[in-house]
Chain A
Amino acid sequence: GAGVSQSPSNKVTEKGKDVELRCDPISGHTALYWYRQSLGQGLEFLIYFQGNSAPDKSGLPSDRFSAERTGGSVSTLTIQRTQQEDSAVYLCASSPWTGESSPLHFGNGTRLTVT
């Protein structure tokens, strides 16, 4: 079946511009996660959606970052007034459930470059 789909795969933007990154999770997966990975670094948690519950936004690095999930499916991560330090690979993952054995299925990521 189809995996997690992210678009665009690459995005180059100028400092100060806004960007939107999209994630289509695996059908039926109730949990959706956004992480980012800078060069040579581990995965940094950003935000997590589970069903109809309020999202866990504790990982968002600043108020320039926001995300929404419409209809419990597609999610959009928005970065306003981008800065060079926002350059990273943004990874979306979905999971069929949460709890003690919740495998995350990752998309291929969006590589964001802020010039």
Chain B
Amino acid sequence: QKEVEQNSGPLSVPEGAIASLNCTYSDRGSQSFFWYRQYSGKSPELIMFIYSNGDKEDGRFTAQLNKASQYVSLLIRDSQPSDSATYLCAVIRYGQGNLIFGKGTKLSVKP
């Protein structure tokens, strides 16, 4: 079982809709969770992080964490074509310093 799993997509949503991106992780010792966005040919850039159960909102983005289910998600409200990118989920395990990344979900927002 991979440590961090994401549906590779592509996930296609119409402009203005809510995009829901999901991620599961295998190590219960994981303590911090990150969402990165990567445009084609570019480097990943941090969107948000979360380490407590529940929701965390930042503008149009909401991260949701459920440690019991080992599940973290990212919701993008009012999706825009400029949100079209690959979204990478990453975790830090307790006592570790490096991020373990999933393979990413490709999101396409259609005008």
A residues near B, CB below 8 A?
A: 31, 33, 35, 41-45, 48, 50, 56, 59, 91, 98-109
Contact = CB atoms under 8 A, between A and B. Distances in A.
Interface stretch (B12-20, B42-50, B69-77): B42-50
Interface of B: 31-32, 34, 42-46, 49, 51, 88, 90, 92, 96-104
Q: What 7 pairs across the A-B complex have the smallest Cβ distances?
A: A42-B103, A106-B43, A43-B101, A98-B97, A100-B32, A48-B98, A42-B101
5 contacts: A41-B103, A43-B101, A48-B97, A59-B98, A91-B44
A50 B102 contact: no
Contacts of B100: 45
Contacts of A31: 97
Contacts of B104: 42
Among B88, B90, B96, B97, which residue has the most Cβ atoms of chain A within 10 A?
B97
A102 B43 contact: no
Contacts of A104: 34, 44, 46, 99
A45 B101 CA distance: 8
Contacts, number: 57
Nearest to A4: B43
Given A42-B103, A101-B32, A102-B32, A91 B43 contact: yes
Contact of B97 (A35, A50, A109): A50
B49 A101 contact: yes
| SS of B interface (majority) | strand
A55 to B, nearest CB: 10
B18 to A, nearest CB: 24
A100 B45 CA distance: 18
A41 B88 CA distance: 11
A43 B31 CA distance: 19
A107 B42 CA distance: 9
Among A43, A98, A103, which residue has the most Cβ atoms of chain B within 10 A?
A43
A106 B97 contact: no
Given A33-B99, A35-B101, 13 more contacts: A42-B88, A43-B101, A44-B101, A45-B101, A56-B96, A56-B98, A100-B51, A102-B97, A103-B34, A104-B34, A104-B46, A108-B42, A108-B43
